Amino acid sequence: MKRSLLFLVLMIGPVLFSMAQRVENFALKDANSGSTVSLDQLNDKRGTVLIFTSNTCPFSKLYEDRIKDIASRFSNDFSFALINPHAGSIEETENEMKGRSFRFPYLMDGEQKVTRMLQASKLPEVFVITSGPTGQSVVYQGAIDNNPQAPGSVSQRYLENALTQIQRRSSPSPSQTRAVGCNIRSRSARN
């Protein structure tokens, strides 16, 4: 019986640990400060919250106040950064990005290197990254909550729950939800 249990643990253990998506360090220009910001610089707390967004996506606009609120309440334990995968397009210029009133980096990913690395597909879409013994990995990916259009009708606060669970030293559950919003246009699809 002990051998069977040991065998089961040895077989399943690596599968469970490999499920978390590993994240390599990256560096992108911050439209707010003009400086380059790396993931390693952001990850000096319990974790980093990356939110893919844009200036023009209606869903992103609906979430702006909620993002600011979550960031203000969780900023002691988590670093926050926005990533714009459409940066550099006509409606997503650096000046347009700079005009936003976020108090954390708004990173330009016009070449979509980080977008492709994390396989982000929606705006807004959240990735919560923590450090562990094997490096940095995504521990939550998906939606901010379950109601983009009516903040007062939200019944599932996915991002807040994930951050609270990490504060309590637990793994977020669920670790992934379906993000709803605008599709990220691939660089090759731009005009």
185 in any annotated domain: yes
Residue 12 lies in a domain: no
Task: Write out the residue range of the structural domain in which residue 75 sits.
Answer: 18-189
**What is the average per-residue pLDDT within 95-111?**
90
Model confidence at 78: pLDDT above 90: yes
| pLDDT score of 1 | 52
Q: Which of 16-30, 58-72, 160-174 has the lowest mean pLDDT?
A: 16-30
pLDDT in tens, 127-173: 999 998 889 999 999 999 999 999 999 999 999 999 999 999 999 99
Decide if 135 is inside a domain.
yes
In a domain, 56, yes or no: yes
CATH number of 155's domain: 3.40.30.10
Q: Would residue 136 count as lying in a domain?
A: yes
Q: Is residue 118 part of a domain?
A: yes
3-class state of residue 128 by DSSP: strand
Task: Provide the strand spans (E) within the chain.
Answer: 21-23, 27-30, 36-38, 47-52, 78-84, 106-108, 122-123, 125-132, 135-142, 182-183
Flag whether 8 is in a domain.
no
In three-state form (DSSP H/G/I as H, E/B as E, the rest C), the secondary structure along 129-165 is: EEEECCEEEEEEEECCCCCCCCHHHCCCCHHHHHHHH
Q: Is residue 184 part of a domain?
A: yes
Q: How many domains does the chain have?
A: 1
Element (H, E) at 74: helix 58-74
For the segment 26-43, the average pLDDT, to the nearest whole number, is: 95
Contacts (Cβ under 8 Å, ≥6 apart) of 165:
171, 172, 173
